Chain A
Amino acid sequence: MTAVITVPTSLDDLSFEQVIEQLAPHPPEDKVIIDCRHCAFSTPFGLTALLTLAQTRATKPTLLAPDDLDKSSYWARAGFFKYAEDLYDIQGTVPRARSAGESDVLLEVQPIAESNDVHRVVEHIQVRAAQILTTRLHLESKATMGFTMALSEACQNIVEHAGRGGWVMVQVYNYRKRIGRQVAVIAVCDAGIGFRRSLESGNRRPETDRWNDRMALEEAVMRGVSRLSDLGRGQGIKGIKAYVKRRDGKLTVRSGTARVALVPDWDDDYPARENLPAFPGSQMQILIPEALPAEKP
């Protein structure tokens, strides 16, 4: 049986839950059609999560491209179709990809599988991002450096722990709905083993009967526990959290059936959610808002 999964008109980390909910009853062997025809907007999380979704399926899914050529052109510029063409049978018009050039895409969708991929991403973002982060987000140069460090650490989470490759994308856009300011967003998604299995593989599961994805996320993200017992492990996620807090940003991490968030005052998201529909791997989003006038350098 083929199931049609309708992608919301606005696809972000929260609305992607609707996609996972629709997907939940269908085992990986089932054929699914991911219907993006009416999708008018997608964040980096949405695009990287769609690629991740395809990796979770045993039967190659079909993707119906957005009807609106402007939207599908944007997806092409963001590098989405370059990788989606291998993972999906794509139907609909797929515009030829042109360089993102001066657009607000700081980093087109990139695959992350090994250390060299992280080097490539860091090199690319430094060339591209410094000016945009300074002029549009009014971040001083130290904060721009912190942004690159957070990106590097988020990507390394895939290399070190996921057990399979994932995706990263970075963009600046106007987040009118929530904060009314420009934001820079890093999305890093993979379909790997996820936080719970990663900690279990290193015998880092705490002694408790309540062990689940939420506890694993709280251990790893909030307390900096790693599957590896070296004293220095957990520095990366600690660094990301410190940077996000300093910049009044937001961090969300979803893995398995749970999601945790560092929620700033300007947002009303839940700090932790559990019993969500299961989705493999881990999906991270780092959102850094434009500096307020008093903070501008």
Chain B
Amino acid sequence: MTHIDVGLVLRHSAKVPYADLVTRTTGAAVRECIERELSALHDGDVAFLDFSAIGMMDYSCADEVVAKLLMSPMSRHRDRGYVVFHGITDAHLEAIEDVLHHHGLALVVHFADGGARLVGAVNADERLVWDMVYAQGNSAATRLAEVAGREIEAMTQLLDVLHRRHLLRFDGASYSAPSLAQS
């Protein structure tokens, strides 16, 4: 697992003595630094972006750091690693959700209560299936279809969509939610 302390990145890359992620200039500097770290990920690795030390985040900076990071060619490469957000609070969530919906993106967030959920543009079916995979742990599509009481084809289709969007891992046999414990 690769742990990236976004607060530390902010201080080093943008060279500002503040804890807030504001302005596009700052956002671009932070994103470029994170992208450099992510480029070292091996296939299937999970990178843990820790926002615990970040104060507030505005829309422009969220667009630069979060949306552009998820849209970058490297992040879209399906065999590369997975990005999980941590330390997200109400001070960040509004801007992040806003830009994710604007671009039709979603990401996995591990919240302080220990739980994880999808944030951003996902439909009710996708959310339901993701929550089920997260609760079940490593599971094959047949097992998940059985638990959900759905046709295997429909379930596989949904799982594939979530996998293509880098919201679920797939090892060739079973699906799992990218999490802290994986590397």
Given contacts A122-B56, A153-B60, A238-B98, 16 further A-B contacts (CB under 8 A): A119-B16, A123-B20, A126-B56, A145-B56, A145-B91, A148-B58, A152-B23, A153-B58, A156-B24, A159-B23, A231-B103, A232-B63, A232-B67, A232-B68, A232-B99, A239-B98
A152-B22 contact given A116-B16, A232-B103, A235-B98, CB 8 Å threshold:
yes
Tell me whether B95 is interfacial, beta carbon within 8 Å.
Answer: yes
**Least Cβ distance of B101 to chain A in Å?**
11
Residues of A near B182 (CB, < 8 A) are none
Q: Does the CB pair A239–B59 fall under 8 Å?
A: yes
Q: Does the CB pair B98–A122 fall under 8 Å?
A: no
B interface, by DSSP: helix, strand, loop or mixed? helix
Residues of B near A235 (CB, < 8 A) are 59-60, 62-63, 98-99, 102
In the complex, 9 of the A-B residue pairs with CB atoms within 8 angstroms, ordered by the A residue number, are: A119-B16, A122-B18, A122-B22, A149-B59, A152-B60, A235-B99, A236-B58, A236-B59, A239-B59
Query: Can you list, as one digit per residue, whether each of B60-80 has a CB less than 8 Å from chain A (1) or not (0)?
Result: 101110011000000000000
Distance between Cα atoms of A231 and B60 in the complex (Å): 12
Residues of A near B23 (CB, < 8 A) are 115, 118-119, 152, 156, 159
Q: Does the CB pair A126–B59 fall under 8 Å?
A: no
Tell me whether A89 is interfacial, beta carbon within 8 Å.
Answer: no
Tell me whether A160 is interfacial, beta carbon within 8 Å.
Answer: yes
Which of B16, B55, B67 meets A126, CB within 8 Å? B55
Q: How many residues of B contact A (CB 8 A)?
A: 26
Q: How many residues of A contact B (CB 8 A)?
A: 27
Residues of B near A165 (CB, < 8 A) are none
Which of A114, A119, A146, A232 meets B22, CB within 8 Å? A119
Tell me whether A142 is interfacial, beta carbon within 8 Å.
Answer: yes
Tell me whether B176 is interfacial, beta carbon within 8 Å.
Answer: no
Distance between Cα atoms of A148 and B91 in the complex (Å): 10
**Least Cβ distance of A25 to chain B in Å?**
39
Q: Does the CB pair A156–B60 fall under 8 Å?
A: yes
**Least Cβ distance of B26 to chain A in Å?**
6
A148-B56 contact given A232-B102, A235-B63, A235-B102, CB 8 Å threshold:
yes
A interface, by DSSP: helix, strand, loop or mixed? helix
**Least Cβ distance of A229 to chain B in Å?**
14
Q: Does the CB pair A145–B90 fall under 8 Å?
A: yes
Closest residue of chain B to A142, judged by CB? B90
Q: Does the CB pair B58–A149 fall under 8 Å?
A: yes
Closest residue of chain B to A238, judged by CB? B59
Tell me whether B52 is interfacial, beta carbon within 8 Å.
Answer: no
Distance between Cα atoms of A145 and B57 in the complex (Å): 9
Residues of B near A123 (CB, < 8 A) are 18, 20
Closest residue of chain A to B26, judged by CB? A115
Closest residue of chain B to A233, judged by CB? B63
Distance between Cα atoms of A122 and B102 in the complex (Å): 24
Residues of B near A148 (CB, < 8 A) are 56, 58
In this complex, which of A145, A146, A159 has the most chain B Cβ atoms within 10 angstroms of its Cβ? Answer: A145
Residues of A near B102 (CB, < 8 A) are 231-232, 235
Residues of B near A118 (CB, < 8 A) are 22-23
Query: Can you list, as one digit per residue, whether each of B77-92 has a CB less than 8 Å from chain A (1) or not (0)?
Result: 0000000000000110
Q: Does the CB pair B90–A239 fall under 8 Å?
A: no
Residues of B near A231 (CB, < 8 A) are 102-103
Tell me whether B25 is interfacial, beta carbon within 8 Å.
Answer: yes
Residues of A near B58 (CB, < 8 A) are 122, 148-149, 152-153, 156, 236, 239
Tell me whether B153 is interfacial, beta carbon within 8 Å.
Answer: no
In residues 78-127 of chain B, which contact A (Cβ within 8 Å)? 90-91, 94-95, 98-99, 102-103
Q: Does the CB pair B95–A149 fall under 8 Å?
A: yes
